[in-house]
Amino acid sequence: MGALSDLVIADFSRVLAGPYATMMLADFGADVIKIERPGTGDDTRTWGPPFDVDGVSTYFQSINRNKGAITADLSTPEGITKARSVIDKSSVVVENFAPGTMEKFGFGYEELSRKNPALIYVSISGFGNSPQARELPG
C-alpha cells in the first residue's frame, strides 16, 4: 500500500517520458495498467543489451516496474473495447502518441472527459499538441 493506492492509471505511453512518469506513480502505490500492442508491446522491450534470461530488455524493466499490463490491438473493435474497459475504471490516462492518435481511437480528452469529468488526462509529446506541430519546416 502506498500514498496513491486508490488511483488507477491507464498507461498508453511508451519509450521514456510517459513510462517514467507512470513508474513513479506506481512506486507510490498507484495501480498502473500499461496497454501494449499484441506481439511486440512497448518498443523498449527489445532495446538492449542487456537482456534478462527471458530476453526482455532491462531498460524496459527499469522504467516499467510495479505496473500491470494488457495487450490490445487498437486497430480492432475488440482491442478498443478492451482498452476502454481499463479507461473506464481509471482516474488518470497517460499517453504519448503523436497528436491526433488517441482521438483516432476515440480516446481523446474531449470524448473521455464527457463520460468522466473528473478524469486527469496527461499527454506527453515531443511534437506539440497539433498535427501541424509534427511537420518539419522546409
String of DSSP letters for the chain: --TTTT-EEEEE--SSHHHHHHHHHHHTT-EEEEEE-TTT-SGGGG--S-B-TTS-BHHHHHHSTTEEEEE--TTSHHHHHHHHHHHHT-SEEEE-PSTTHHHHTT-SHHHHHHH-TT-EEEE--SS-SSGGGGSPP-
Give the pLDDT confidence score for residue 138 in this predicted structure.
56
Q: Give the residue, 90 or 48, on which the prediction is more confident.
A: 90
Q: Which percentage of the chain shows pLDDT scores above 70?
A: 91
* 2 occurs within a structural domain: no
User: pLDDT for 76-119, tens place per residue?
Assistant: 999 999 999 999 999 999 999 888 899 999 999 999 999 999 99
> What pLDDT shows up at residue 114?
96
How many domains would you assign to the chain? 1
118 lies in some domain: yes
- Confidence (pLDDT) at 15: 86
pLDDT above 80 for 137: no
- This prediction's pTM: 0.88
Q: Is residue 111 included in any domain, yes or no?
A: yes
Average pLDDT on 9-30 reads 95
The answer to whether residue 35 is domain-embedded is yes
The domain that contains 12 carries what CATH number?
Answer: 3.40.50.10540
Examine residue 37 and state whether it is found in any structural domain, yes or no: yes
Average pLDDT across the chain, whole number? 91
More confident call, 125 vs 94: 94
Residue 3 lies in a domain: no
**Residues of the domain holding 94:** 8-134
What would you report as the CA-atom Rg of the chain, rounded to the nearest whole angstrom? 15
- Higher pLDDT, residue 137 or 39: 39
Flag whether 107 is in a domain.
yes
- Note the pLDDT of residue 133: 56
- Per-residue pLDDT at 42: 85
Q: Is residue 76 part of a domain?
A: yes
